[in-house]
Amino acid sequence: MADSETDTLADTDLEPAREALLSWYRVDHRSFPWRETTDPYEILVSEVMSQQTQLSRVVTAWTAFLEQWPTVADLADDSRAEVVGFWTDHSLGYNNRAKYLHEAACQVVTEFDGQFPSDPETLQELMGVGPYTANAVASFAFNNGNAVVDTNVKRVLYRAFAEIHNADDPDYETVANALMPPGESRIWNNAIMELGGVACGKKPRCDEASCPWREWCHAYQTGDFTAPDVPTQPSFEGSRRQFRGRIVRLLGEHDEMDLDTLGHRIRVDYTPDGEHGQEWLRGLLSDLSDDGLVQVEEEGDQITARLQ
Ligand code: SF4
């Protein structure tokens, strides 16, 4: 177990953390049709649409768009007005994005011989394709991108890796790229974005979503879930308060629990004799008992807790 106060990315053996995230993603993730394709055109359309529209609505629009213009050549052949009309009909936000998408299709056909470039730098030559979109297309279509850094990923990195917020000028790209297994941008970027989307949201769901990084996560260990887009979070303001919440929630699911079982369930670094062990847990239970929330019974060495 790494020391969460002093741990840095360089100190950490990255392999277990990488493997844990990839396994978590492989076992279960949200299904989006653009995750099933490696066609750069289809992926570019999904990326442009998702910039301003909820993912659940993008699915319908994306499917209809590809029925109307199945290939990049079909899109380039049609008129810009048709594409803008589609954009408006599907409430996809700024029409400029439709114009750029159409223009990018024309560029692929005329300047790139109908083949999408496969690296992020060249993809940025396409109209309306900025660094983020270029990298997403390079990753998801060609497995040839850098680590994606969006708001969700920044939140995960900030919480999980202490050096991000210990540094004066956090450089998320460096940390994100160091973390990404070489040559695995397709699955890795999908996985870390999924983590930010379903587990490490503004209100984190560490236990509920079985976050695979609890063991290494600075925020999880300390109870400080601050992040760039979550400046303060009163309900998670301190570890004691958070762990009290976990205890009450767990005891609500069980008639009673003995001390060590409870300890192992509320934090991954629980060891009976450790810093966060029996003594620490007994302190929390004693507070909860004083507040009339929990009843604690001691019989010899056996300590059992239940809700009052
Ligand atoms: S343990 Fe919680 S805070 Fe840490 S990365 Fe996972 S979901 Fe985010």
**What CATH number was assigned to the domain covering residues 239-307?**
1.10.10.10
Tell me the pLDDT band of 5, cut-offs 50, 70 and 90. very low
Quote the CA–CA distance of 53 and 303 in Å, as a whole number: 52
- Arithmetic mean of pLDDT over the chain: 88
Quote the CA–CA distance of 191 and 76 in Å, as a whole number: 33
- Calculate how far, in angstroms, residue 156's C-alpha sits from the geometric centre of ligand 1: 7
Please write the tens of the pLDDT for every residue from 103-150: 999 999 999 999 999 999 999 999 999 999 999 999 999 999 999 998
Please write the tens of the pLDDT for every residue from 182-240: 999 999 999 999 999 999 999 999 998 999 999 888 888 888 888 887 765 444 445 67
User: Cβ(256)–Cβ(304) under 8 Å?
Assistant: yes
3-state secondary structure 48-112: HHHCCCCHHHHHHHHHHHHHHCCCHHHHHHCCHHHHHHHHHHCCCCCHHHHHHHHHHHHHHHHHC
Q: What are the extents of the domains in the chain? A: 39-142, 239-307
Please write the tens of the pLDDT for every residue from 236-278: 445 677 788 889 888 988 889 999 999 988 887 788 988 888 9
Q: Which atom number of ligand 1 is nearest to the Cα of residue 218?
A: 4
pLDDT above 70 as % of the chain: 91
> Of 93, 80, 38, 46, which is closest to residue 65 (Cα–Cα)?
46
**CATH 1.10.530.10 given to domain 39-142:** no
| Residue 16 pLDDT greater than 80, yes or no | yes
- Calculate how far, in angstroms, residue 91's C-alpha sits from the geometric centre of ligand 1: 34
Model pLDDT, residue 169 = 60
Model pLDDT, residue 239 = 67
- Calculate how far, in angstroms, residue 195's C-alpha sits from the geometric centre of ligand 1: 8
Is residue 204 in contact with ligand 1, taking CB distance under 6 Å? yes
